[in-house]
Structure 1
Amino acid sequence: MSQPDSTAADCASCCGPSRRGVLRGVAAAGVAGAAGVALAACSSGGGKPAASGPTDIGPTSGVPVGGGTIYKDDKIVVTQPTAGQFKAFSAVCTHAGCLVDAVKDGTIQCPCHGSQFKISDGAVAQGPAASPLPARTVTVQNGKLVVTV
């Protein structure tokens, strides 16, 4: 079972190198091969891949009504917009691939560039993200949340 994470991640650890840093590194290297390596490192996302298949992520009591909980290890965020209605989404921001770090004021929030997503459907509430968070299937089994990617 994954442990929820409610601490803010620093952008360098969630996003990897900045675009400016990658471009500077590529320019300094001056070789086309280095560009491929740098870009592959930037797009890898790092860490454990998102959960696949049914995953028991925790008790329903761990998700507040009108809010949500981020399960960092599984890269999943589960919200409860109204009592007994659970929604699950990828916790990877659709803008730059950072992990979201907070659920407050009816939105799921990304620390890297300020994108916010609605807890009810994952839609963009504030950019720069242009796409919603991908929805995941969540069911309740014996008081536990089971998410399928």
Structure 2
Amino acid sequence: MSGNGLGRREMLGAAGVAACGLAALTACGSGGAQAQPSLQGKVLAKTADVPVGGGKLIEDLKVVVTQPEPGVFKAFSSLCTHKGCQVGTPKDNVIRCACHGSEFTADTGKATKGPATGSLPSFPVKVEGDGIVIVG
């Protein structure tokens, strides 16, 4: 075990999560994230499939879409900022990570319960017809 209390596996795991996160997301000045070019303009979900106060997890795209209040849609990375586990489907305006119990707000992605301390990266979205689309 290293002097910081993390073993070799934990160190390698944390490095892998960081590398994957950097490859998939690019931070921008607004505090959000830029989607991979392949996600821009892509319909993430239908508005009818995202309940008010809840959300929809799009596992293959690693995105979670929420509707914190009627007609307001948000999208975030579905990878927990603690160790990179995929978060669950939002309920009661809370995005929860089952791996270690972290919680995030459905309107801002801000961590409200640890061990995660960082917010989920957000993606700008708009409604086109009945679809929720990531904009670039």
TM-score (norm 1): 0.67
For 1:91 and 1:40, the matched residues in 2 are separated by 17
Structure 2: unaligned runs, 5 residues or longer: 1-5, 26-34
Q: Is the 8 A contact 1:57 1:144 kept in 2?
A: yes
Match of 2:131 in 1: 144
For 2:94 and 2:86, the matched residues in 1 are separated by 14
Runs of 4+ in 1 over 3 A off after TM superposition: 38-45
* 1:94, distance to aligned residue in structure 2 (A): 0.7
Match of 1:58 in 2: 45
Structure ranking higher in helix proportion:
1
Letter of the structure 1 residue corresponding to residue 98 of structure 2: P
For 2:69 and 2:114, the matched residues in 1 are separated by 25
Q: Is the 8 A contact 1:114 1:128 kept in 2?
A: yes
For 2:41 and 2:82, the matched residues in 1 are separated by 26
1:123 correspondence with 2:110: yes
The verdict on how the C-alpha distance between 1:130 and 1:39 changes in structure 2, with shifts beyond 3 A counting, is closer
The verdict on how the C-alpha distance between 1:22 and 1:103 changes in structure 2, with shifts beyond 3 A counting, is same
Where in structure 2 are the equivalents of 1:27-106 lying within 5 Å?
Answer: 42-43=16-17, 45=20, 52=36, 53-106=40-93
The verdict on how the C-alpha distance between 1:106 and 1:39 changes in structure 2, with shifts beyond 3 A counting, is closer
* 1:116, distance to aligned residue in structure 2 (A): 0.5
Q: Is the 8 A contact 1:107 1:125 kept in 2?
A: no
Q: Is the 8 A contact 1:88 1:138 kept in 2?
A: yes
Match of 2:97 in 1: 110
Structure 1: unaligned runs, 5 residues or longer: 1-18, 24-34
Paired-residue identity, %: 41
Matched pairs, number: 117
Match of 1:132 in 2: 119
Q: CA RMSD in A?
A: 2.7
Letter of the structure 1 residue corresponding to residue 46 of structure 2: P
TM-score (norm 2): 0.73
Letter of the structure 1 residue corresponding to residue 101 of structure 2: G
Letter of the structure 1 residue corresponding to residue 113 of structure 2: Q
* 1:98, distance to aligned residue in structure 2 (A): 0.9
